[in-house]
C-alpha cells in the first residue's frame, strides 16, 4: 500500500480512541452544565455519550483524510502511559487487532510524544499516526492557495523535526561505540539539515505571500468597508451560510476543514450599507499547536473584522463543547471584545419545540440549507455595525443631479419622495459616509 493513499486506493485505518481521566472528568464547563441540566442521566451515561460524539468526530476526520475504517478500539485510562500512551498490555492487543483487520495505518485520536510514536510503530504491524498528523493531512489535502499550501507544509515539517531527532538519538545510543555509527544516523543528519533548509525557505516564501496579502488588505481598507467574519467549529455550516447570503459558490462539504483559505464577498445589508463577509477556516478541539500559529495569518481576517458571526451547529450533541472550543481560539486571537452574533444553524434538523426554545435567546436561529433566518441575521448585523452608522436625513436634490439621485438610490433607503418643480425632496436612510458625501443637498429637519 502506498504511503500516501489517494482516494481511489483508500488506506485501511484502525481507529484508536484513548480517553484519559475519570469518566466525565475531561469535560468543559459548558458540557458539564449541560450534563447537570440533564440530571436524570448518570455521570457514566453522559460520559459514554460524550465518547460517542468524540468517536463520531474522529471517524469524520479519518474519512475527511480519505481513509477507510478497518476497525475501532476504544480505551479508557486514568493516566497516559509515558512509553506507549495505551500501556504495554493494550499495545499487544492493538497489534493483534491491526493484523487481523489488515490495517495499513493505526490512527490514535490523541497526541503522541516522539517516544510514544516510536514505540507504537515498533510494536504494530502498520504505520502509526496521531491526531496532529491526521489533521495536518486533511489540511494538506484541502489547501488550495499558495499561502495555504506553504503553511501546511511548514507545519508538517515542524511537526516532523523533533520526531526525527528522537529517532536519531535512539540510534546513537544504540550504537555508541567505534564503528557502530551507521549510515542511518548520517542519513538522519542529512535529512534534518535538508528539512531545516526547507523550513527556512518556506518561511521566506510565506513572508512574501503575506506581504502581498497585507498590501491587498491595505488597498481594500483605504475604501472603508467594514468586514464581518463567519467563525465557528468545523462543519458548523459557515460556507453554506456564506453561500446562502452571497450566492458566491464557496465549497460546502460534509468533509471537515473544507475551507482553509478565507473567502471574501461584498453584501448589502437592509440599510443598504455594504459590508465584506468573510468565510474562514473552521476550528476544532485540540487544534495542533503548529497549525494555530501557521493559520494565525489567515485568521487575520477575524482580527480585522468589525463584527464576528459565530456559526454553531445547533443540532450537534457536542455543541456546548464546540462553543467553548471556539471561544478559546477567539480568546487566543484576542478578539473576544468584538461584537459577536451567535447563529444557531441547522435548525431544520431540530424539532419545533427545540427551535422555539432556541429562538427565545439572543442567538439567531437559521437553516443555511433551507435559507431560513437570513433576514433576521442581516438585520442584526445592521444593529451591531457601529462603524459608519446608519443615519436618517432629509434631502432636497435638483432632478438634474441624476448621479446623486442614483448614488443615493443604490446605497440608501429612500421614502416620502415629493416633487416640487425640478426638485426632489425625500427622507434618506443610509450609511453616514454616503450621506456625508452629499451633505450639500441636506435639508434642515422641519
Ligand atoms: N441540515 C443542515 N445541514 C447543513 C446546514 N448548513 C450546513 N449544512 C451541512 O453541513 C456540512 C458542513 O457545511 P459547511 O458549510 O461546509 O461547513 P463549514 O462550517 O464551512 O465547515 P469547514 O469549512 O470545514 O470549517 C455540509 O454537509 C452542509 O451541507 C443546515 O442549515 N442544515
Ligand atoms: Mg467551510
Q: Do 51 and 131 belong to one domain? A: yes
Q: Do 302 and 338 belong to one domain? A: yes
Burial bucket for residue 280 (CB in 10 Å: 0-12, 13-18, 19+): buried
Nearest CA to ligand 1 atom 8: 237
Q: Do 203 and 301 belong to one domain? A: no
Q: Which of 218, 249, 271 is the last residue of a domain?
A: 218
Q: Which of 230, 240, 316, 366 to mutate to test the pocket of ligand 1 (most atoms within 8 A of CB)?
A: 240
Nearest CA to ligand 1 atom 12: 235
DSSP 315: T
Q: Do 104 and 16 belong to one domain? A: yes
Q: Do 194 and 231 belong to one domain? A: no
How far is ligand 1, taken at its centre, from the CA of residue 194, in Å? 40
What order do you get walking across the sheet with 423-431 strand by strand? 413-420, 423-431, 390-398, 442-443
Q: Which domain holds residue 328?
A: 225-384
How far is ligand 2, taken at its centre, from the CA of residue 120, in Å? 34
How far is ligand 1, taken at its centre, from the CA of residue 146, in Å? 25
pLDDT at position 260: 58
Q: Do 249 and 316 belong to one domain? A: yes
From the CA of 283, the nearest ligand is 1
Nearest CA to ligand 1 atom 24: 257
pLDDT at position 79: 93
Q: Do 349 and 310 belong to one domain? A: yes
DSSP H or E run through 129: strand 127-130
The grid coordinates listed for 269 are: 445589508
Q: Does 420 fall in a domain?
A: yes
Query: What is the atom index within ligand 1 of the atom nearest the CA of 259?
Result: 23
Residues of the chain with pLDDT under 50: 1-7, 24-32, 34-43, 166-176, 180
Q: Do 418 and 374 belong to one domain? A: no
Q: Does 2 fall in a domain?
A: no
Question: Rounded CA gap, 223 and 72, in Å?
Answer: 54
Q: Do 368 and 237 belong to one domain? A: yes
What order do you get walking across the sheet with 227-231 strand by strand? 263-268, 274-279, 227-231, 307-313, 340-345, 364-365
Looking at the DSSP bridge assignments, the partners of residue 131 are none
Nearest CA to ligand 1 atom 11: 254
Question: Rounded CA gap, 113 and 117, in Å?
Answer: 6
In CATH, what number is assigned to the domain containing residue 102? 3.40.50.11060
Q: Do 264 and 313 belong to one domain? A: yes
Q: Does 1 fall in a domain?
A: no
Q: Does 327 fall in a domain?
A: yes
pTM of the model: 0.76
Backbone angles phi, psi at 428, to 5 degrees: -120, 125
pLDDT at position 105: 94
The grid coordinates listed for 195 are: 528539512
Domain count, the chain: 4
In this prediction, what percent of the chain has a pLDDT beyond 90? Answer: 44
Q: Do 20 and 112 belong to one domain? A: yes
Q: Tell whether the torsion through CA atoms of 121, 124, 126 and 129 is positive or negative.
A: negative
Question: Rounded CA gap, 156 and 126, in Å?
Answer: 21
Q: Do 343 and 396 belong to one domain? A: no
Q: Does 88 fall in a domain?
A: yes
Q: Which of 140, 157, 180 is the last residue of a domain?
A: 140
Q: How many CB atoms lie within 10 A of CB 98?
A: 26
Query: What is the atom index within ligand 1 of the atom nearest the CA of 254?
Result: 27
Strand 12-20 with 68-77, pairing: parallel
DSSP 39: T
Q: Does 344 fall in a domain?
A: yes
Q: 229: closest CA among 300, 294, 295?
A: 300
How far is ligand 1, taken at its centre, from the CA of residue 42, in Å? 32
Nearest CA to ligand 1 atom 30: 346
Backbone angles phi, psi at 138, to 5 degrees: -65, -45
Q: Which of 85, 107, 140 is the last residue of a domain?
A: 140
In CATH, what number is assigned to the domain containing residue 365? 3.40.50.300
Residues with CB under 6 A from ligand 1: 232, 234-240, 252-254, 256-259, 282, 345-346, 348-349, 367-369
pLDDT at position 445: 65
In CATH, what number is assigned to the domain containing residue 408? 3.30.70.240
Q: What is the CA radius of gyration of the chain?
A: 27
Question: Rounded CA gap, 1 and 201, in Å?
Answer: 31
Amino acid at each position: 500500500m502506498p504511503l500516501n493513499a489517494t482516494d481511489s486506493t483508500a488506506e485501511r485505518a484502525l481507529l484508536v480512541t484513548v480517553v484519559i481521566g475519570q469518566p466525565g472528568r475531561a469535560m468543559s464547563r459548558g458540557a458539564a452544565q449541560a450534563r447537570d441540566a440533564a440530571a436524570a442521566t448518570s455521570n457514566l451515561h453522559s460520559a459514554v455519550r460524550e465518547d460517542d460524539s468524540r468517536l463520531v468526530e474522529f471517524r469524520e476526520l479519518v474519512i475527511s483524510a480519505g481513509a477507510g475504517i478497518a476497525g475501532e478500539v476504544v480505551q479508557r485510562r486514568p493516566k497516559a502511559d509515558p512509553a506507549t500512551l495505551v500501556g504495554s498490555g493494550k499495545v499487544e492487543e492493538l497489534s493483534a487487532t491491526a493484523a487481523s483487520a489488515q490495517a495499513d495505518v493505526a490512527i490514535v485520536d490523541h497526541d503522541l510524544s516522539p517516544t510514544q510514536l516510536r514505540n507504537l510503530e515498533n510494536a504494530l504491524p502498520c504505520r502509526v499516526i496521531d491526531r496532529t498528523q491526521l489533521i495536518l493531512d486533511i489540511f494538506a489535502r484541502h489547501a488550495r492557495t499558495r499561502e495555504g499550501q506553504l503553511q501546511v507544509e511548514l507545519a508538517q515539517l515542524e511537526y516532523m523535526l523533533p520526531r526525527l531527532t528522537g529517532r536519531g538519538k535512539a540510534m546513537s545510543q544504540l550504537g555508541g561505540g567505534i564503528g557502530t555509527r551507521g549510515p542511518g544516523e548520517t542519513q538522519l543528519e542529512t535529512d534534518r539539515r535538508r528539512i531545516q533548509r526547507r523550513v527556512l525557505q518556506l518561511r521566506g516564501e510565506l513572508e512574501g505571500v503575506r506581504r502581498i496579502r497585507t498590501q491587498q488588505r491595505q488597498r481594500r481598507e483605504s475604501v472603508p468597508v467594514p468586514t464581518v467574519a463567519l467563525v465557528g467549529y468545523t462543519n458548523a455550516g459557515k460556507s453554506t451560510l456564506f453561500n446562502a447570503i452571497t450566492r458566491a459558490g464557496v465549497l460546502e462539504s460534509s468533509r471537515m476543514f473544507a475551507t482553509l483559505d478565507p473567502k471574501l464577498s461584498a453584501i448589502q445589508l437592509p440599510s443598504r450599507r455594504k459590508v465584506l463577509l468573510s468565510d474562514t477556516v473552521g476550528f476544532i478541539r485540540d487544534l495542533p499547536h503548529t497549525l494555530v500559529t501557521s493559520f494565525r495569518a489567515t485568521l487575520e481576517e477575524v482580527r480585522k473584522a468589525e463584527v464576528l458571526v459565530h456559526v454553531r451547529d445547533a443540532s450537534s450533541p457536542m455543541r456546548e463543547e464546540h462553543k467553548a472550543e471556539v471561544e478559546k481560539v477567539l480568546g487566543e486571537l484576542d478578539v473576544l471584545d468584538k461584537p459577536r452574533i451567535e447563529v444557531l444553524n441547522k435548525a431544520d434538523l431540530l424539532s419545533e419545540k427545540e427551535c422555539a426554545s432556541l429562538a427565545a435567546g439572543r442567538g439567531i436561529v437559521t437553516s443555511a440549507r433551507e435559507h431560513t433566518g437570513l433576514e433576521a441575521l442581516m438585520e442584526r448585523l445592521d444593529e451591531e455595525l457601529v462603524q459608519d452608522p446608519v443615519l436618517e436625513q432629509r434631502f432636497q436634490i435638483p432632478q438634474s443631479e441624476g448621479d446623486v439621485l442614483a448614488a443615493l438610490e443604490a446605497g440608501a433607503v429612500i421614502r416620502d419622495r415629493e416633487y416640487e418643480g425640478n426638485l426632489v425632496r425625500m427622507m434618506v436612510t443610509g450609511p453616514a459616509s454616503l450621506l456625508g458625501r452629499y451633505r450639500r443637498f441636506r435639508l434642515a429637519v422641519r
